[in-house]
Amino acid sequence: MISETALQEFKKIWLEEFGEEISDDKATELGINLLTLFDHIYRPVKKSWLGDVSENQKQTKDYETRKNN
């Protein structure tokens, strides 16, 4: 379920982005679909992955530095 505040905020954003007012029922449907999508694709970053990313960024920076010299 979506709170009344979240529903009204979603409708406001929809209007700003698409120039179209939508009903509460449509906003609820779209909002739940959006939340479901995020639930399926979002996964928190593991601390171990942060080290991998930092090391990859360092290697990329080192490569770019050597390439440009």
Question: pLDDT by residue (tens digit) across 17-54?
Answer: 999 999 999 999 999 999 999 998 988 777 777 677 66
Nearest CA to 27 among 42, 48, 13, 39? 13
Q: Could you tell me if 28 and 7 are in contact, meaning their C-beta atoms sit under 8 angstroms apart?
A: yes
Q: Which of 10-19, 30-39, 56-65 has the lowest mean pLDDT?
A: 56-65
Q: What's the pTM?
A: 0.60
Cα–Cα distance measured from residue 48 to residue 50, given in angstroms and rounded to the nearest whole number: 5
DSSP element (H, E) containing 43 = none
Nearest CA to 34 among 6, 67, 69, 5? 6
What are the residue boundaries of the structural domains of the chain, listed by start? 4-68
Of residues 5 and 56, more confidently modeled: 5
